[in-house]
Amino acid sequence: MTYGDIVFDPLKDTRRMSDRERIEERFPGKEFVIKKRFIDARHGKLKLCYRLDDYDPGEQEMKRMALEMKAMPYLNKCSEKMRTYYPAPVVVGFGPAGIFAALVLARCGFNPVVIERGRRVDERIQDCYDYRYGLKHLDVNSNILFGEGGAGTFSDGKLYTGIGSDLIEFVNRTFCEHGAPYEILYDSHPHIGTDNLRKIVSSIRKEIEDHGGRILFDTEFTGLGRKDGQIASVLCKADGTVIEVPACGVILGIGHSATDTMRSLYNDGIAMESKSFSVGVRIEHSRRMIDISQYGVDTKDLYNIGAADYKLAVDTSTGRKLYTFCMCPGGEVVASSAFPGHIVTNGMSYHARDLDNSNSALLVPVTKDDFGSDVFDGLTFREMLEKRAFELAGSNDNAPCMTYGDLVSGKVTEHARQSVIPSYRPGVSYCDLRELFPKYITDTLIDGIRLMGRKIKGFDMADAVLTAPETGSSSPVRILRDKETYMSISCTGLFPAGEGAGYAGGIVSSAVDGINCANAYIRSVGRKVYNYKS
């Protein structure tokens, strides 16, 4: 049956119904699969739209099996000899790349050992809360960046990505198996929310453990033991004790903020290169204003429509692009530094997306022409901005903040009665962001926000809050690997993965890269054990 687009009016039908209940009421007795859900707000009328397919149990099962084979092609091909010939593989880092690498390895019977410098997610939540509300100092190993689930655990949990891969659906279905709402499989802009992600990552960890994997929390990776250019062990430290874990293969999913680890690896001979990245600010507006600009209505009281999002990019008069990234509708700006004396901002939303403000990163690309061509010049530039921000805001863990109107006028005022209240905690200090950024960045922000105001009414309002700096959208360093084998070009058995290695940018792309690296490891073992080619 061809359904076409199924359209509902969310302003007229405000009943608390699931997507399936709503459609079943329209098509009683029909078996169907929801292929897509999207919002159409064109022509001044808000519509909630669905695309459907007929449900065929046999077809759905074949699709599930085909998806599993793409994600785990060696699931039924790994012999006991392959699994036990070498020591268990080690996964460093338990963010999206590390989680999905460990999951694939565990399901295939390889009993991976995961090394994570941070803590379990429930302990990590408390550490982040205590820092956010000034109850304790920043914990360098348990914060918004380090710990179970990685940086993505404290985010909006956005699952849309610019990469093209059949593994995207496998990642999303895995999340659903562990408690994510099934709407992420068909929503045009799927998200989980940090409140759901916290439960999901611990559930996936339990599955890994049930399949024989081990996760070592509060254990810091310190180096690689090598013999004849091949990995022989992983060196780490827990409670001040040095531990050596035997290994012939390591999947390195350290995240983009483990700068101490990156420098240590480089000093140990691991090949890397500098890469372009982006820096900027978090911009906040009221959620209601963005809702009305995008949808013509405040979504707060609409059960079927969540807070409005946006994605913008403009070419400015400076010759540089300004673009939005990691937009968090109905969310908050959060402290995202892993090291004392640094300030970094990020965005976070709960699944309901019902807080007062909506925010997104506003980013300006920077290249080697801006910061230099040596391997760590980009990283040094990033750290310089983070340290300068800490000092500019008073060296008290506040973030420097300025309204757009003040940035344009070049003056700083204490906006006690402004319409948009900054959400960043521990707190903000009103500062002149011109003292933080190079002129080309502030000029790009000024002109770019003005141009974005032509696309979303009110985006360039004087009271829009700019909190700085946003420096963690991607890694300024790439750990070099072979395109076919995913293996480091300078160390046999090392598989750099995810954002920290410079090969992903977000939850889903990092998870996909982790899956690919896990399968690359299995292939390498098969070839070594008995010339396994396929």
**What CA–CA distance (Å, rounded) separates 417 from 434?**
23
Q: What is the pLDDT of residue 466?
A: 98
Beta strands 428-430 and 272-274, pairing class: unpaired
Give Rg (Cα) of the chain: 24
Same domain for 143 and 185? yes
Same domain for 284 and 195? no
Q: Which residues, 6+ apart, have CB-to-CB distance to 459 below 8 Å?
A: 285, 293, 312, 449, 452, 453
Question: Token pair of 246, please?
Answer: 């035997």
**What CA–CA distance (Å, rounded) separates 39 from 44?**
12
Question: Token pair of 508, please?
Answer: 């889903």
**What CA–CA distance (Å, rounded) separates 39 from 139?**
41
The answer to whether residue 63 sits within a structural domain is no
Same domain for 266 and 282? no
Torsion of CA 255, 259, 261, 263, to 10 degrees: 140
CB atoms within 10 A of CB 288: 18
Same domain for 191 and 260? yes
Same domain for 336 and 461? yes
Q: What is the pLDDT of residue 264?
A: 95
Tell me whether the omega of the peptide bond preceding residue 426 falls within 30 degrees of 0, making it cis. Answer: yes
The answer to whether residue 73 sits within a structural domain is no
Count of structural domains, the chain: 3
Same domain for 358 and 415? yes
**What CA–CA distance (Å, rounded) separates 420 from 401?**
12
**What CA–CA distance (Å, rounded) separates 106 from 47?**
44
Could you give the count of Cα atoms lying within 13 Å of 436 in the half-sphere of its Cβ? 37
**What CA–CA distance (Å, rounded) separates 188 from 35?**
10
pTM for this model (two decimals):
0.95
The answer to whether residue 71 sits within a structural domain is no
Largest Cα separation within the chain, whole Å, is 72
Q: What is the pLDDT of residue 532?
A: 54
Q: What is the pLDDT of residue 529?
A: 83
Query: pLDDT means per 10 residues in the chain (534 residues)?
Result: 81 88 92 93 91 89 92 91 92 97 97 96 92 88 91 80 87 95 92 90 97 97 91 94 95 92 95 97 97 93 89 98 95 93 94 94 97 96 98 96 96 81 95 97 98 97 97 94 97 96 92 97 89 56
> Which domain-ending residue is among 470, 501, 516?
470
Same domain for 15 and 156? no
The answer to whether residue 15 sits within a structural domain is yes
The whole domain housing 29 covers 5-55
> What amino acid is encoded at 278 in this protein?
S
Q: What is the pLDDT of residue 418?
A: 83
Same domain for 369 and 396? yes
Domain containing 258 — which CATH number? 3.50.50.60
